[in-house]
């Protein structure tokens, strides 16, 4: 499937969100760092809320392909950035003021997993998932090392996240369902969730899990290899 250009995605968002939100989208689009303009979708969906709370993993260097850089820098949001890849750590701490977690978000805490850091570092992932999607060829010659895991629930508790979180961004190159499947949705809720699926079979599993827990998928035609959900 041919992917839309950045301009096409922004035009589609402008069409979807009318009135004042459309005007604010135009003002914010120059500062968008998201690959698929997830940050603009989140802002428009939440009426350009200021002072919100986000949780994002993987966070890369905090700017490159970041779904939360715009939220933090222009709208005063705070939150948690989780990123286990060693190559991103120095830049992430320099670029962002949010709380940073180096452990690898996983289904359970306190496990040791092999992490595969690759040349195109945004494709790095837990080695169990290195061959799970269309990017497997780009992960064949990575540098591997051990990482300690932390569950999503433990991540939120460790960093004193509020019970209602405005935005959860999940991009872990294959382990997204593994993480969400063990999460207790009765303890925390999210107004908006964006979750990468890369066209794998886990997309259906994630959809079933999130819809069962009170979320609806939106703008499927816009989100491409992501899926975007809002709380009912």
List average pLDDT for each run of 10 residues in the chain, which is 232 residues long: 74 85 89 92 96 94 95 98 92 97 95 83 63 59 88 98 98 85 98 87 94 96 90 98
Is residue 226 within 8 Å of 38, Cβ to Cβ? yes
The answer to the question of residue 53 being in a domain is yes
pTM of the complete model: 0.90
* CATH code of the domain in which 80 resides: 3.40.50.150
The answer to the question of residue 163 being in a domain is yes
The answer to the question of residue 151 being in a domain is yes
The answer to the question of residue 1 being in a domain is no
The answer to the question of residue 83 being in a domain is yes
Token pair in block for residue 205: 């599993």
Range of the domain at 19: 6-231
The answer to the question of residue 208 being in a domain is yes
Number of domains the chain is built from: 1
* Residues in a beta bridge with 194: 169, 228
The answer to the question of residue 192 being in a domain is yes
The answer to the question of residue 69 being in a domain is yes
Q: What is the pLDDT of residue 101?
A: 98
To which H or E segment does residue 25 belong? helix 20-28
Residue of 230, 226, 170, 229 lying closest to 36 (CA atoms): 226
To which H or E segment does residue 95 belong? helix 89-95
Residue 196's Cβ-side half-sphere holds a number of Cα atoms within 13 Å equal to 21
Token pair in block for residue 231: 């709380």
């Amino acid at each position: 499937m041919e992917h839309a250009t950045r301009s096409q995605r922004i035009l589609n968002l402008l069409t979807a969100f009318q009135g004042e939100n459309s005007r604010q989208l135009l003002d914010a689009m120059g500062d968008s760092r998201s690959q698929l303009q997830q940050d603009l979708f989140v802002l428009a969906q939440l009426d350009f809320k200021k002072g919100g709370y986000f949780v994002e993993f993987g966070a890369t260097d905090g700017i490159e392909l970041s779904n939360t850089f715009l939220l933090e820098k222009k709208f005063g949001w705070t939150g948690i950035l989780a990123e286990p890849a060693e190559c991103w750590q120095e830049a992430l701490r320099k670029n962002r003021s949010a709380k940073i977690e180096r452990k690898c978000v996983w289904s359970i805490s306190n496990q040791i997993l092999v992490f595969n850091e690759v040349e195109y570092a945004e494709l790095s992932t837990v080695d169990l998932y290195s061959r799970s999607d269309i990017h497997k060829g780009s992960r064949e010659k990575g540098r591997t090392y051990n990482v300690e895991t932390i569950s999503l629930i433990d991540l939120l508790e460790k960093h004193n996240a509020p019970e209602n979180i405005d935005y959860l961004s999940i991009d872990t190159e294959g382990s997204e369902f593994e993480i969400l499947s063990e999460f207790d949705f009765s303890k925390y809720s999210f107004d908006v969730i964006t979750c990468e699926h890369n066209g794998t079979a886990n997309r259906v599993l994630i959809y079933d899990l999130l819809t069962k827990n009170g979320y609806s998928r939106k703008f499927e035609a816009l989100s491409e290899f992501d899926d975007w959900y809002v709380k009912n």
